[in-house]
């Protein structure tokens, strides 16, 4: 299951808008095209769009015509800033672009050598993400009971990462360790990432999965049908507040009420120590048509408008633990997240 491919002709992305009905890869050759792919949800998920943006920056670097190295770096920065504006909430996007810009500025290299180093660094980010996902899986699997129904929200699997998964990676690792796992996937309106993507992924790897309406989660917890909740993250503030797909905050509140452990799985690149609390995280609002329509068909009366925040923020007090590739972090988050990042 490879959502991202990169060859001599450019970038190939599995078009996630078409799943589960059709598996089709689209070709992208310029950073402007890559930016649109991110904005239009061809690719989504914080780690995946970070990797994609890094490759997009390399594609741009390969095309820059510059009078000097200084001119090259100035143009490279402009491309990077444009890519970073594609989606504001997921910090991995900016983190990956800034990491490549730092490489370009860090050494006394020729322009050709800089482009070569940027390619290497983008591939390194990709490889590191897959390894981080697997490490998260090993650590997080220990938190899952031997027999459990695990609820997850949105899609934090291979499609949202370099190829294994954060929250789904934890579930996969628990299943591979022999635990008797069943997954309840929230449908996750309005893009239905749970129904379309998470269920598709889990079916591919043979993990039992049932789809549930978003509004049924509290009732299922009250009936004892959920033993753990594992979700991903798009940005984690220094104090442990977590921005994730809209609906995550509601799940966390319901989990507290029903005494169900609520875990967040994300790489350290998703931890933004420069953002003090969740109140400082920019929340992306998307086109109201995504709510008013389903599969391109309008489901609401004409003349009715909609609210469409793409993310919400879950306060740290509702989070049982944050699973990173380095350690399982628990409260006090402000102290322990900083240690995890610096480890």
Domain segments of the chain as ranges: 4-133, 136-342
Gap between the terminal Cα atoms of the chain: 31
**pLDDT of the residue at 109:** 87
Q: What is the mean pLDDT of each run of 10 residues along the chain (343 residues)?
A: 89 96 96 97 96 98 94 97 96 96 89 95 97 97 98 97 95 98 97 97 96 98 98 98 98 98 97 97 97 92 97 98 98 96 89
Q: What CA–CA distance (Å, rounded) separates 321 from 336?
A: 11
* β-pairing verdict for 10-14 and 209-212: unpaired
The pLDDT of residue 269 is 95
Please tell me the distance from the alpha carbon of residue 202 to that of residue 67, in angstroms, as a whole number: 51
136-342 and 4-133 share a CATH fold: no
Q: Using CA of residue 189, residue 190, residue 194, residue 199, what is the dihedral sign? A: positive
Look up residue 343 and give its two tokens: 């480890």
SS (H, E, C) the chain: CCCEEEECCEEEEECCCCCCCCCCEEEECCHHHHHHHHHCCCCCCHHHHHHHHHHHHHHHHHHCCCCCHHHHHHHHHHHHHHHHCCCCCCHHHHHHHHHHHHHHHHCCCCHHHHHHHHHHHHHHHHHHHHHHHHHHHHHHHCCCCCEEEEEECCCCEHHHCCCCECHHHHHHHHHHCCCEEEEEEECCCCCCHHHHHHHHHHHHHCCCEEEECHHHHHHHHHCCCCCEEEECCCEEECCCCEEEECCHHHHHHHHHHCCCCEEEECCHHHEECCCCCHHHCCCCECCCHHHHEECCEECCCCCCCCCCECEEEECHHHCCEEECCCCEECCCHHHHHHHHHHC
Known catalytic residues are 234
Angle at 140 between CA 259 and CA 254, to 5 degrees: 25
Tell me which architecture the domain covering 4-133 has in CATH.
Up-down Bundle (1.20)
Place of tokens 């070709």: 27
Domain 136-342 has CATH 3.40.50.800: no
* CB-CB neighbours of 20 under 10 Å: 14
Q: What's the pLDDT at 295?
A: 79
pLDDT of 180: 98
Q: Are strands 293-294 and 297-298 parallel, antiparallel or unpaired?
A: antiparallel
pLDDT given at position 220: 98
What pLDDT does 1 receive?
75
Pick from 215, 235, 255, 218: nearest CA to 312: 235
Residue whose token pair is 């940005």: 235
Distance between CA 211 and CA 232 in Å, rounded?
Answer: 18
Tell me the C-alpha distance between 217 and 186, whole Å. 8
């Amino acid at each position: 299951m490879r959502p991202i491919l990169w060859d001599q002709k450019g970038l190939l992305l599995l078009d996630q808008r078409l799943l589960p009905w059709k598996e089709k890869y689209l070709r992208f050759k310029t950073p402007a095209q890559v930016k649109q792919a991110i904005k239009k949800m061809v690719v989504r998920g914080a780690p995946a769009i970070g990797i994609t943006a890094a490759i997009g920056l390399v594609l741009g670097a390969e095309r820059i015509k510059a009078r000097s190295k200084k001119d090259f770096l100035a143009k490279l920065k402009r491309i990077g800033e444009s890519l970073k504006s594609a989606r504001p909430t997921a910090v991995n996007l900016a983190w990956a672009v800034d990491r490549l810009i730092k490489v370009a500025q860090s050494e006394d290299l020729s322009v050709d050598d800089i482009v070569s180093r940027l390619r290497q660094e983008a591939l390194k980010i990709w490889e590191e993400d897959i390894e981080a996902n697997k490490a998260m899986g090993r650590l997080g699997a220990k938190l899952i009971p031997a027999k459990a129904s695990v609820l997850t929200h949105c899609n934090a699997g291979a499609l949202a990462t370099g190829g294994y998964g954060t929250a789904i990676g934890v579930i996969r690792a628990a299943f591979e360790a022999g635990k008797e796992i069943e997954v309840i996937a929230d449908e996750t309106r309005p893009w239905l990432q749970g129904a379309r993507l998470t269920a598709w992924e889990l079916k591919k790897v043979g993990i039992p999965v049932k789809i549930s309406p978003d509004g049924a989660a509290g009732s299922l917890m009250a009936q004892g049908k959920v033993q753990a909740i594992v979700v991903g993250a798009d940005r984690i503030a220094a104090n442990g507040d977590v921005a994730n797909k809209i609906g995550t905050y509601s799940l966390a509140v319901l989990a507290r009420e029903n005494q169900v452990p609520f875990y967040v799985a994300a790489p350290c690149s998703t931890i933004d120590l420069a953002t003090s609390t969740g109140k400082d995280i920019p929340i992306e609002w998307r086109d109201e048509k995504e709510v008013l329509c389903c599969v391109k068909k309008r489901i609401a009366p004409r003349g009715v408008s909609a609210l469409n925040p793409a993310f919400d923020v879950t306060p740290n007090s509702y989070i049982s633990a944050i699973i990173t590739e380095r350690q399982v972090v628990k409260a006090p988050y402000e102290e322990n997240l900083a240690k995890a990042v610096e480890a």
